[in-house]
């Protein structure tokens, strides 16, 4: 199997995978034979893929990049894994611990490198998935996106990444970070693959109470519809001084091309954009502090059997099992939820969230799609931002508002600067994945 050979040759340097599923080799042969027999198989069937290691798999470890879950094996498959049963799972990819980070430097196991320049980060937190797809170590991958973790690494690695509308893809089996923001989505080499994978993983699931029942759709159908007559908004708040000018220029080139193809370009405003940063970290860390309270080392997870009382047991397990960034997020979240701070922080964040949602609702009355850069900077060096948390947090400044509001957003490569890939972000109204993909197809 060429994929496994490639992994053997390359992955030691790249560090994309945490677990390789060796048994997948024999399954791969079984699918080959089926093709040989001339049987009809669906386009995606049998295609090798990888999964971010915070998506649960029965029989295969799900570590979440954390020492806390070093030997954890889930008793069930995530719904998305069930839906890709006919595919071959090559392995589980590296990530920032529990999805917290923007560079894949926060994994307890290894640092993933950017395949275009091994001294640079691949982005995060789905950095392993994006690096694996970009370097041909699988044909597609599933990542999770809470604040940009699919799109930012897709942009840094030069691949396509889609965060679907909240509720379109079941989160059952995704280890939660911020439940009201978390989504699962495809990371692929091109737009067609992205649509195809979305066909398989989307759809109603009774196991996820936030899953939305909209029936099944074929997302590949509208890909060639073209952008003629589509109204595309350019929100000025996404082109501020903090964004690398060269990236802004690349995005403008994309917009001009789309205009030539018949798209109608409109300048628009999303006035509450700047509050996204505060709102996101407020909500994400608050939800994180609740979600991660289950990791006490008793039911599952890291357990150090030296303690005098229950408190000590919890504190030993959590101190030793969690990494720095996770602890930071838990403390921040707990702080905004304590009685005396709740109104000042969490509640205020929740209120501002509705204003950000309103901005998008208003703007999508005027335009069909929005185009912005995906990231404010080019891929940065390994170690460059790890000691400056604010700078690191700001890597997601252009992606977080899609999570706050739940709208679909996709990143697609649009050229290179200094030999590193640049991503353009296309956002759409709720459940308008179809037009997002149509537009992406034209950018490709």
Active site residues: 52, 125, 149
Q: How far is the CB of 145 from ligand GLN (least distance, A)?
A: 5
**Which of residues 84 and 398 has its CB atom nearest to ligand GLN in the complex?**
398
Q: How far is the CB of 248 from ligand GLN (least distance, A)?
A: 22
Report in angstroms how near the CB of residue 95 gets to ligand GLN at its nearest: 8
> What is the smallest separation between the CB atom of 178 and ligand GLN, expressed in angstroms?
7
Q: Give yes or no for a contact between 160 and 412, defined as CB atoms under 8 angstroms apart.
A: yes
417 backbone dihedrals φ, ψ, rounded to 5° = -130, 130
- Sign of CA pseudo-dihedral 363, 369, 371, 376: positive
Q: Which residues contact 353 (CB under 8 A, 6 or more apart)?
A: 279, 283, 404, 405
Q: CB of 76 within 8 A of CB of 82?
A: no
Q: Residue 362 is inside which H or E element, if any?
A: helix 348-366
Name which of 88, 79, 101, 81 is nearest 28 in CA terms. Answer: 88
Instruction: Give me the DSSP letters along 48-61.
Output: EEEEETTB--BSSB
When the beta carbons of 17 and 280 are compared against ligand GLN, the nearer one is 280
Q: How far is the CB of 435 from ligand GLN (least distance, A)?
A: 23
Give SS3 for 17: strand
Based on CB atoms, which residue is closest to ligand GLN, 281 or 360? 281
What distance in Å separates the CA atoms of residue 2 and residue 59, rounded to the nearest whole number?
24
Q: Applying CB under 6 A, which residues contact ligand GLN?
A: 99-102, 125, 144-149, 177, 284, 396
Closest contact distance (angstroms) between CB of 372 and ligand GLN is 17
Q: Which residue is nearest to ligand GLN (CB)?
A: 149
* Element of type H or E holding 188: strand 183-188
Q: Which residue has the tokens 């909209």?
A: 214
Shortest approach of ligand GLN to residue 177 CB, angstroms? 6
Cβ–Cβ under 8 Å, residues 141 and 132: yes
To the nearest whole angstrom, how small is the minimum distance from the Cβ of residue 395 to ligand GLN?
7
Nearer to ligand GLN, 125 or 438 (CB): 125
The Cα–Cα gap between 153 and 374 comes to: 10
Q: Is the dihedral of CA 167, 156, 219, 262 positive or negative?
A: positive
Strand, helix or coil for residue 36: helix
SS3 labels along 249-267: HHHHHHHHHHHHCCCEEEE
> Which one, 396 or 435, has the nearer CB to ligand GLN?
396
When the beta carbons of 187 and 284 are compared against ligand GLN, the nearer one is 284
Backbone angles phi, psi at 380, to 5 degrees: -100, 170
Determine the Cα–Cα distance for residues 276 and 214; give it in Å rounded to an integer: 28
Q: Which residues contact 352 (CB under 8 A, 6 or more apart)?
A: 272, 275, 278, 279
């Amino acid at each position: 199997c060429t994929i496994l050979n490639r992994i053997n040759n390359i992955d030691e340097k790249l560090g994309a995978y945490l677990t390789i599923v060796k048994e997948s080799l024999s399954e791969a042969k079984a699918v080959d034979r089926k093709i040989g027999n001339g049987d009809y198989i669906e386009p995606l069937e049998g295609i090798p893929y990888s999964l971010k290691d915070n998506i649960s798999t029965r029989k295969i470890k799900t570590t979440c990049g954390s020492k806390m879950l070093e030997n954890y094996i889930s008793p069930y498959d995530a719904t998305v894994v069930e839906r890709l049963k006919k595919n071959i799972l090559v392995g589980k990819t590296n990530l920032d611990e529990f999805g917290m980070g923007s560079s894949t430097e926060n994994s307890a196991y290894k640092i993933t490198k950017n395949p275009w320049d091994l001294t640079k980060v691949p982005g995060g937190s789905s950095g392993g998935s994006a690096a694996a797809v970009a370097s041909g170590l699988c044909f597609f991958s599933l990542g999770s996106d809470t604040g940009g973790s699919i799109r930012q690494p897709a942009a840094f690695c030069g691949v396509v990444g889609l965060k679907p509308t909240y509720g379109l893809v079941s989160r059952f089996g995704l280890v939660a970070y911020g439940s009201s923001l978390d989504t699962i989505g495809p990371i692929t080499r091109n737009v067609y693959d992205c649509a195809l994978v979305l066909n398989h993983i989307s759809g109603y699931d009774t196991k996820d109470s936030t899953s939305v029942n909209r029936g099944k759709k074929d997302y590949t159908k509208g890909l060639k519809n073209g952008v003629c007559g589509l109204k595309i908004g350019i929100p000025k708040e996404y082109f501020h001084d903090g964004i690398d000018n060269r990236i802004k220029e690349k995005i403008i080139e994309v917009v001009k091309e789309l205009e030539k193809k018949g798209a109608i370009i409109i300048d628009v405003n999303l006035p509450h954009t700047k509050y996204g940063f505060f709102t996101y970290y407020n909500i994400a860390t608050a939800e994180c502090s609740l979600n991660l309270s289950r990791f006490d080392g008793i039911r599952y997870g890291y357990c150090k059997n030296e303690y005098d009382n229950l408190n000590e047991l919890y504190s030993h397990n959590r101190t030793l099992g969690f990494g720095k960034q996770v602890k930071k997020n838990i403390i921040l979240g707990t702080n905004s939820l304590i009685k005396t701070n709740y109104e000042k922080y969490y509640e205020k964040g929740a209120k501002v969230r509705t204003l950000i949602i309103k901005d998008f609702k208003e703007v999508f009355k005027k335009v069909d799609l929005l185009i912005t850069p995906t990231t404010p900077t080019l891929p940065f060096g390994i170690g460059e931002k790890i000691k400056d948390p604010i700078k690191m947090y700001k890597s997601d400044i252009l992606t977080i508002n899609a999570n706050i509001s739940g709208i679909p957003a996709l990143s697609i490569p649009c050229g290179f600067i200094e030999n590193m890939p640049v991503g353009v972000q296309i956002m759409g109204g709720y459940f308008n994945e179809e037009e997002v993909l149509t537009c992406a197809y034209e950018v490709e």
